[in-house]
Chains A and B, each alone.
Chain A
C-alpha cells in the first residue's frame, strides 16, 4: 500500500514544519503573493470563529474554495481594499501530525497573531487553532485544507490580511 511518495515520520514532520514556516514568512514578511502557492489548486481556506464552528453554523469570516480565491484576496489587499498599514507577527506552536494515508496528513497547531498598526498600536489580534490537511505532492507539502478556528468571537476593527 505504501506508495513511493510515502515519507518516514521524521521526513513528514520536516516537510510539514517547513510548510508552516513558509506560511508564516509569506504573511509576516509581507510577501503575501507567495501565500496562495502554499495551497493546492482545489484547496479550502477558511477563518471561522469557535462560536460558529462549535454550533455547526457554516458562516466563515473568510472562505476561499480554490487557490484562485486566495489570489483574489491578495488582489483585494494589494489593489482594492482600503485599510491602515499593518503587520502581523505569527507565533505557532504545539504542532501535531497524524498521517491519514501515504501522502496526506491531518495537522493541528496553536497560533497567536499580534497586529501592529502604523501608529504603533500593538493588538493581540487573534488566537486559536489551525486545523489542516496537508498533502505531499511531487515531494512537496501543500495545504489541501486550512481551517483557522479563532477562539474569540470578536474581530477588532477589521480583518484584511489572512491569519
Chain B
C-alpha cells in the first residue's frame, strides 16, 4: 500500500498564508463537513424570538445539514436533523410555523416536537398481513438530535459531545458583546437570503477583515460612517477563533484618506435625502460599528442602528448562502423603528456598505481558478501575531485567528 499523502501541506509561513486550494478542493470541502460542521464547535441556529410559543419551529442549517429547531409543549428548545429516519426525505419544508408534530409526506412517519418517532403508518400491516417486524421499536428511529444551548436569546447547536461549555467556547469578550446587544427583548424585522458564488471561508475572511471595510466599501469612508482614523480596535478570543472589530463614529480624525489616491473617498458627492443617515446613539460606549465573528460561521453586526445576525451556509465548494436576520427591540419607538428600516439600505444584498461583499469573494474564486498547489493569500497586515488591539485596525490578525482555528480542527 502506498503511504497516504496528507490532504494538504500548509505553507511553512503558517497563518500568514492561506493556500488557495482550501477554497476550491472538493475533498477538503467534504472533510470540513465532518471536522468543522460536525466538529467540537458551536453553530448559530436561530433566535429564541423566532420560537415564541410551544409548538413553534424554525428550519435552519449546520453546514449543509438541514435542521429543525422546535420549542416543545414545556417550552424546552430542541434541534434535530430535518431528515425522516425512514427514507431520508426532508421532514419539514416550511421555514417556520407552529406544529404539534412532524409527519413525513412520503410514508407518514410521525415525530413529536422533541424529535422522537411516535408512529409509523401501517406498522401492524393491513388485515394482519405485512407491516413492520414484531421487534421494530419506534425509539430506535428517532430523528438525529443536535445539542443546543440558549444564550441571551440566541440558540446555538452542535453535533459534537466534545464541544466545550458555550460561554467557555466564546470567551468573556464575545459573551460581553452578545450581552451588550441582546440586553432586552428583540423584535424580528425580516430576513435577507443572498447566494454568493464563492467558498464559505472567503466570506468568513471578509466579515472579519477591518482592512478592506473602508476601502472596498467606498460609501463608508465617503460619508464618514467608518474610517480607520476613528477610535476602534479588534478583540480576539479563544486564540483568535472569534473576533470583533469596532469603531466609534464620533472620534474621526480628518486627513489620511484625503489625497492618498486610495479609491475609498469619493469627493464632492452628497445625499439628496440625508434622512438615510439619521441615526441614534443606542449604546453608551460610543461604538457605532461592531462586527463580531463567532467561529466558524456566525456574524453578529451592529452598523449604527442596524442590528443583524448573519449565518453562513455552504451550498457546495464554490457556493455559499448568507442568511441575514435583521432585528430591533420590542420597545423601539416608531421613529427608531423607521430609522432602522431606512438604515437597512446600508446592509444586505443591496446595501450601500455591504453589496460589494456579495461579489468580492466571487472575484477571488474566479481569480484563483487554475492556480498551482503552492499559491495562497498573503495575510501579513499587522505582522504575524494573533492578538487584540486598541491601537489600530490596519491589521489582519482577525483573519489569522480564523485560520488558526481552521487549521487546528482540520489537522492542517
Contacts and interface: CB of A to CB of B under 8 A. Distances in A.
A69 B344 contact: no
B219 interface: yes
B238 interface: no
A69 B188 CA distance: 25
B272 A158 contact: no
Contacts of B269: 75, 79-80
Interface stretch (B55-63, B130-138, B241-249, B354-362): B354-362
Contacts of B193: 49, 51, 153-155
A51 B349 contact: no
Interface stretch (A21-29, A60-68, A91-99, A101-109): A60-68
A156 B355 CA distance: 11
Contacts, number: 117
B219 A153 contact: no
By size class, the interface of chain A is: 35 or more
Given A79-B266, A158-B356, A59 B191 contact: yes
A62 B192 contact: no
Interface string B181-223: 0000000111111111100000000000000000010110010
A76 interface: yes
B348 A61 contact: yes
Contacts of A63: 341-342, 344-345
Contacts of A69: 272-273, 275-276, 345
Chain B at the A interface: SS class: mixed
B81 to A, nearest CB: 22
A112 interface: no
A120 interface: no
A82 B348 contact: no
A3 interface: no
Given A59-B326, A71-B273, A75-B269, A81 B355 contact: yes
A57 interface: yes
A51 B95 contact: yes
Interface of A: 47, 49, 51-52, 57-69, 71-72, 75-76, 79-84, 153-160
